[in-house]
Amino acid sequence: MINETIKSSLRQAMEQLGISPIPPEINMERPANRTHGDWSSNLALAVSKKVGKPARELAEQISGYMNANLPEGVEEVSMAGPGFINFKVTHRCLLQVLIEALEKGPDGFGRLDIGKGRKVNIEFVSANPTGPLHAGHARGACYGDAIASILSAVGFNAHREFYMNDRGLQMQIYGQSLQARKEGAAIPDGGYGGEYIIEWASLMPEGLSLSEIIEWGCAHAKQDQQETLAELGIHFDTWFSEKSMIENEGIERALEDLTTEGAAYEKDGATWLSSTKFGDDKDRVLVKSDGELTYLTPDIAYHRDKYERSDWLINVWGADHHGYVARMKAAMNALGNDPDDLSIQITQLVKLVRAGQEVKLSKRQGDIIELRSIIEEIGTDATRFMYLLQSVDSKQTFDLELAASRAMENPVYYVQMAHARLCSIERNAKDEGFTQVNLSLSELEVLTHAREIEILRYLETLPEVIELAARELAPHKIVTWTRDFANAVHGFYHDCYVIGDGVSTELTNARLNLVVASKTGLKVGLDLLGVTAPEKM
């Protein structure tokens, strides 16, 4: 990478000029303003104090030296502002990204190996098996799946996991609700009042016992959820059953070990976790005085199980669960698992509007807008793209009507259209007898138009963007890149004809390389988001 080359030449320049101390880490960044160059270093500003000379003076000295001894791939070094050293990269160096993208293709370009095959377990959705997935599950579903894809792309061994709370009181109530609806009776107090219960009860076989009803209901809910997730292209590696930990005594063992570690105690007829010892603000009940487990206890056993199977755990939880973070980390800490290996990502709420009007998420008692109906309304691609559009740290609002529209102001269409246009150029070129053939650097040198340079510059940043998205578990950074890159593609499309009068054969061939490389970039980005890259629209 060119920035590595620049770093070592900076270091060399300091040595030659006798400037010390040389910092262990030299910081290279992309200047916000392109006229400042392709790369920039704040080296002079950073060391100015220690060296005892003004930053501008140091920057002047270093850039002067480097201009006289230009590293490979650098065209110009300059000092600017309060003491930045800016680098302008050569045209040839910029063109290299084309060769890389074309050689690696959509399955290789932008892939890194920072994960080194480490196992990361991503638990997300984990809806109760008592009903269909609803609007509230959408953001976590899209987010969890996207970070799993991104982490895979940077060399982690990613595992998608869904935790099913298939035991406990709420399953009893769910079963009783189904049973009541089956018999045409009123649902019990605090029961599941949703419309879907009536429908599901009618699908249920006659004459089942309550425990059989629960088993049927659980399986039915799971299947229903699986279908919805499949529509979104989300497939879990593991559906982990809470009940299975009763059968294999995992919960019991967790309780015993907490007691052995001195992290659990008895009080008022209940068993408590001394979570305050490990950073929580109060102790939490593990076993209620009636002998029933709280939600926390099986979840502790479950997380411990995940620790045994993975190097890194990521949980995607809704904002309403954030209060749960401290106690889970405390419990893991008590059991001797490093809480830093557990990342808990909280997703903030999403508000839906339709044509400017807020969409009420809960329709009536027990019924919430189903995720399925959102997918039906706006389509799979728009669902994924829109839910990934913004940082999960922020509350989000988006318009269903806009997301469903086939119009330029719809960001999904804007990006997909850029890909479709590139494909269209390829098809038209083929009709004219041109097919894309990988060219050499010198043959690509005809690509000098400002629009072409802009594409090269954006394309080059994709691997960095993927790395950042992985490091920060932030898929929306990839979304932003695809939107910016699509903008560059549309500009190129508009101003640079690939085939036609006045375009030389050499230029057509070079531009076809740019077209295919750009397609690769868009495809890589969209793949990571789980959005299709259409050939035609």
Partner RNA sequence: GCCCUCGUAGCUCAGUAGGAUAGAGCGACCGCCUCCUAAGCGGUAGGUCACAGGUUCGAUUCCUGUCGAGGGCGCCA
For RNA, which is the closer residue by CB, 55 or 459? 55
In the stretch 162-191, what mask flags binding to RNA with x, by CB under 7 A? Answer: ---x--xxx---------------------
Please report, as residue ranges, which positions from 344 to 373 form the binding site for RNA (by CB under 7 A): 346, 348-349
Please report, as residue ranges, which positions from 77 to 96 form the binding site for RNA (by CB under 7 A): 80-82, 84, 86
Among 3, 17, 31, 180, binds RNA (CB under 7 A): 31
Cα-based distances in Å from 501 to 49, 459, 494, 496, 498: 60, 28, 15, 12, 10
Please report, as residue ranges, which positions from 50 to 79 form the binding site for RNA (by CB under 7 A): 55
| Whole-number Å distance between alpha carbons of 227 and 221 | 10
Q: CB–CB of 17/66 below 8 Å?
A: no
| Whole-number Å distance between alpha carbons of 467 and 463 | 6
Among 183, 189, 206, 281, binds RNA (CB under 7 A): 281
| Whole-number Å distance between alpha carbons of 191 and 134 | 18
In the stretch 385-404, what mask flags binding to RNA with x, by CB under 7 A? Answer: ----xxx-xxxxxx------
Residue 267 binds RNA (CB under 7 A): yes
Residue 322 binds RNA (CB under 7 A): yes
Among 42, 121, 310, 518, binds RNA (CB under 7 A): 42
Q: How many CB atoms lie within 10 A of CB 451?
A: 18
Please report, as residue ranges, which positions from 498 to 527 form the binding site for RNA (by CB under 7 A): 498-501
Which secondary-structure segment (H or E) carries 353? strand 350-354
Identify which range of 6-14, 138-146, 178-186, 279-287 contacts RNA by CB under 7 A.
Answer: 279-287
Total H helices, total E strands in the chain = 20, 17
Please report, as residue ranges, which positions from 456 to 495 form the binding site for RNA (by CB under 7 A): 468, 474, 476-477, 480, 483-484, 487, 490-495
Residue 207 binds RNA (CB under 7 A): no
In the complex, minimum distance from the CB of residue 168 to RNA, in angstroms, rounded to a whole number: 5
In the complex, minimum distance from the CB of residue 416 to RNA, in angstroms, rounded to a whole number: 9
Helices (H), 110-187: 135-153, 169-182
Beta bridge partners of 119: 157
C-alpha count within 13 angstroms, C-beta hemisphere, residue 298: 20
Burial class (CB in 10 A: 0-12, 13-18, 19+), 91: middle
- Using the 8-state DSSP alphabet, how is residue 46 labeled? H
Please report, as residue ranges, which positions from 147 to 166 form the binding site for RNA (by CB under 7 A): 165
In the complex, minimum distance from the CB of residue 165 to RNA, in angstroms, rounded to a whole number: 5
What tokens were used for 449? 């138009």
| Whole-number Å distance between alpha carbons of 487 and 417 | 10
Please report, as residue ranges, which positions from 302 to 321 form the binding site for RNA (by CB under 7 A): 319-321
For RNA, which is the closer residue by CB, 83 or 115? 83
